[in-house]
Amino acid sequence: MSEAYKPLDPETMPRSPGITYQQLLDQDSRSVPDVLRLQSPKDMGLQRYSVKRYTSAAWHELEVERLWKKVWQFTCREEDIPEPGDHYRYDIAGMSFLIVRTETGELKAYPNACLHRGRMLKEFDGNAAELRCPFHGFCWKLDGQLKDIPADWDFPQINQSEFSLPEIPLAVWAGFIFINPDQNCDPFDAFIKDLAEQFERWNLGGLYKQAHAAKVMPCNWKIAQEAFCEAFHVNATHPQIMRSIGDVNSQVDVWENCARVITAGGTHSPLLTDVSNPDLIRAMMDLDHDAEVPEIPEGVSLRTFLADRSRESLKAIAGDRAETYCDAELMDSLDYTLFPNFHPWGAFNGIVYRFRPNGNDHRSSIMECMMLAPFEGERPPAAQVHWLKEDETWSSVLGFLGKVFDQDSFNMPKVQQGLEATYMDGIVLSGYQESKVRWLHHKLTEWVGE
Amino acid sequence: MPSIKHPFDPESLYQVDEEGNIRVSNGNQWGVFTREGRHLSGDIRHADPQLCVWVGNNPGQENQLRSTAVTAKRTL
């Protein structure tokens, strides 16, 4: 653990008035898994982080050289390339890679570039029996070995047995394929360890990708990402859900390579008083202000009532597995982040975010949301990515969740513009609520520098 | 029409009007705003832009990528 992270005592650290997340867990109607009982608050100081991290092309170039070319990063799901010959094009900050399923079912990653004159080998995801360059026809087998050089008599300098595509380190966790552009990188196991231990119970590998949406956002990738790394913004950005979630009393935990924010549902924000149960239910269900709502049976807590309803709904797609989830796993947002940009939610939600630079434009980024779902019987085919156009809303494809994204998206270009205009030299972050954002910047400092 | 009362100001009611704008009323006073919160008419001159974004955002079901859990909050 970095020396910059000083453990805090959850019992004595400064925190919001109102019920704590652990106290809410004490009221759960089911046994609460150990992973939710973990607490890892950290004191990481109160320093500011330079605005240049969001506004400077030079800082982006450092990020590319020191981070994106060196770090393990999520590319696609195994289920995106299930058959031999299936390939996925993964682009990051001006680089391009091919993730390929070979004839034996093995996964390989290569730079997406011909070894002759450098042309991109594949422009699109798809299926092919070989990797043939559309420029002069140099061709490689799916396992990367050279297959054919047209007019090979004219290339006496090439040792054909050594002219294989360079292999990029690749690893799989829970159905997610990661690569590292650095062929001398550190092992993946140490990189994923913190996250993998905490997700043992939730088995994201057993889910299938039911939906996948992406959009180019007019802001630096960190602005988009950081919009999803704390619940403090709920009171201003998502006021409509304050009646149904605990925002400023969210629990924030930081480990070496991952962090999480747990925001409870079925409880109201400590910033509000006297929220009635019907108003909480209306907020949770996005119902009109005077809509009728179900009555809560006597002796049943609101959270348990709502969790029971959610459990019943989940049974339709998850079967008896739904019975194994406690109230908290059904009601709460368990938003994990694996550095630098991978965001799987814990429990049944199946939500996964990814944020990355849009090519080498430091003022735009690609935001994605995948939704994983349980299934019974044969694995359904994975959903292909649906790219939203500039004027299309997230809600048009992701419903209620998309409506929330649209509010976050409403802020993003204004944050970019404000950071371009500001006279302050660094952004200000809170000590606890925004400690996941602070952790991300600590990690960036380690990788990229100040 | 979709409607919501502001959590910090429960007397302020946000509703979508027939033209797709947001009508904010509080007692006898009212104001009309765009879906981004820009004032159009009426005595109430300021509205919470994010609540305007929210109440004015009512997508159809036809293009939804997922039909179950995404919309589960509405059908809970």
Q: Which pLDDT score, from 0 to 100, does residue A1 have?
A: 62
The ipTM is: 0.92
Cβ neighbours for B53, distance < 8 A, ≥ 6 positions apart = A406, A407, A410, B35, B36, B37
Residue B71 is assigned to a structural domain of this protein = no
Residue A212 sits in the same domain as residue A284: yes
Question: Considering only CB atoms, which chain B residues are within 8 Å of A407?
Answer: 50, 53-54
Question: pLDDT at residue B69 above 80?
Answer: no
Q: Which pLDDT score, from 0 to 100, does residue B74 have?
A: 38
Q: Which pLDDT score, from 0 to 100, does residue A225 have?
A: 98
Residue A125 sits in the same domain as residue A241: no
Average pLDDT per run of 10 along chain A, which is 450 residues long? Answer: 84 93 96 97 96 98 98 98 98 98 98 98 98 98 98 97 98 98 98 96 95 98 98 98 96 97 96 93 91 91 93 86 92 97 93 98 98 91 97 96 97 98 97 97 96
Domain edge (last residue) among A116, A145, A179: A179
Determine which of A289, A292, A372 to mutate to test the interface with B (most B C-beta atoms within 10 Å). A289
Q: Flag if A289 and B4 touch (Cβ within 8 Å).
A: yes
Q: Flag if A386 and B65 touch (Cβ within 8 Å).
A: yes
Mean predicted confidence (pLDDT) in B23-43: 98
Residue A100 is assigned to a structural domain of this protein = yes
Residue A228 sits in the same domain as residue A97: no
Residue A33 is assigned to a structural domain of this protein = yes
Q: Which pLDDT score, from 0 to 100, does residue B62 have?
A: 87
Residue A67 is assigned to a structural domain of this protein = no
Residue A104 is assigned to a structural domain of this protein = yes
Residue A198 is assigned to a structural domain of this protein = no
Residue A343 sits in the same domain as residue A410: yes
Kindly report the CATH number assigned to the domain that includes residue A85: 2.102.10.10
Note whether B46 contacts A: Cβ–Cβ < 8 A.
no
Residue B39 is assigned to a structural domain of this protein = yes
Give me chain B's average pLDDT, please: 88
Please say whether the beta carbons of A317 and A276 come within 8 A: no
Domain count for chain B: 1
Of A202, A344, A326, residue with least CA distance to A264: A326
Q: Flag if B7 and A269 touch (Cβ within 8 Å).
A: yes
A116 or B74: whose pLDDT is higher?
Answer: A116
Q: Which pLDDT score, from 0 to 100, does residue B76 have?
A: 35
User: Closest approach of chain A CAs to the CA of B41, in angstroms?
Assistant: 23
Question: pLDDT at residue B73 above 70?
Answer: no
Residue range(s) defining the domain that contains residue A346: 6-58+204-447
Note whether B62 contacts A: Cβ–Cβ < 8 A.
no
Residue A121 sits in the same domain as residue A231: no
Residue B74 is assigned to a structural domain of this protein = no
